Amino acid sequence: MNEITPIAPASGDKEATMPRKDPTQRRSRERVERILTCASTLIADNGSDAMRMSDVAQMAEISIGSLYQYFPDKGSIIRTLAERYNVLGRECIADALQNVSDMNGLQSSFAELIDIYYAMFLAEPVMRDIWSGTQADKALRDIDLADSRMNGTVLAAARARIDPVADRDELENSSFLIMQLGEATMHLAISVDRAEGDALVENFKRMFLREMLG
């Protein structure tokens, strides 16, 4: 698996080389953040394809060489941003579903989650660019699948609580599918005009709710 997180700033325990202490690490962290912020800005402006590594370096006021010290390649910057959004999304989903224990709760929580996700996609150009179709990078696709699996597991757990006799594998499989289809719906919805997108999201909600009723 390709790195998601950038190279750790030399907190090496190997070889016991009397590692440097705080200032360096702080500076490194700040640099990583600045790189990510600049990359975000550039992606928001013109998309990740148009984002050139030289632009990122220039905007972050570092040399290309330094940039590559923190991120081994262009994809790793994009993946790091993607994973950050995913973490936010997972927290959101976990929060919403953690304490669900009946069908009504599940339905309302999920409907709400879909709205939140849709709003996020509409509001965040970077997220939109990274996920909307652009999955040329296999490593990015893997991140996406892993994310859906985690979210699917959370959903499956909630459904199992509601219906303890349901087959677990079946729940896991269909919950994973629902997560992926939800994502596909988002991608689709943001690539058509707003009115149609809204209708598609509503339709997906309906399909999901029907599916939940088993």
Partner DNA sequence: TGCAAATGTGAGGATTACTCATATTAACAA
Partner DNA sequence: TTGTTAATATGAGTAATCCTCACATTTGCA
Binding site residues, DNA, CB under 7 A = 9-10, 12, 17-21, 23-24, 27-28, 31, 50-54, 62-66, 68-70, 72-75
Residues 6+ apart with CB under 8 A from 124: 85
32-69 CB burial, b ≥16 within 10 A, e <16: bebbbebbbebbbeebbeebeeebbbeebebeeeebee
Q: Cα(183)–Cα(181) distance, rounded to whole angstroms?
A: 5
Binding-site partner at residue 203 among a copy of itself, DNA, none, CB < 5 to 8 Å by type: a copy of itself
Among 37, 108, 173, 194, binds a copy of itself (CB under 8 A): 173
The nearer residue to a copy of itself, 90 or 187, going by C-beta atoms, is 187
Rg from Cα positions in the chain: 20
The nearer residue to DNA, 53 or 207, going by C-beta atoms, is 53
Contact code string over 102-131 relative to a copy of itself, x by CB under 8 A: ------------------------------
Binding-site partner at residue 181 among DNA, a copy of itself, none, CB < 5 to 8 Å by type: a copy of itself
99-136 CB burial, b ≥16 within 10 A, e <16: ebeeeebbbebbeebbeebbebbbebebbbbbbbeebe
Q: Which amino acid is at 97?
A: L
Q: Cα(18)–Cα(21) distance, rounded to whole angstroms?
A: 9
Among 58, 69, 135, 153, binds a copy of itself (CB under 8 A): 135
The nearer residue to a copy of itself, 95 or 167, going by C-beta atoms, is 167
Q: For residue 155, which of 185, 163, 199 has the smallest C-alpha distance?
A: 163
The nearer residue to a copy of itself, 9 or 47, going by C-beta atoms, is 47
Which residues in this chain contact a copy of itself in the complex, by CB under 8 A? 49, 133-136, 138, 141, 145, 173-174, 176-177, 180-181, 184-185, 188, 191-192, 196, 199-200, 203-204, 207, 210-211
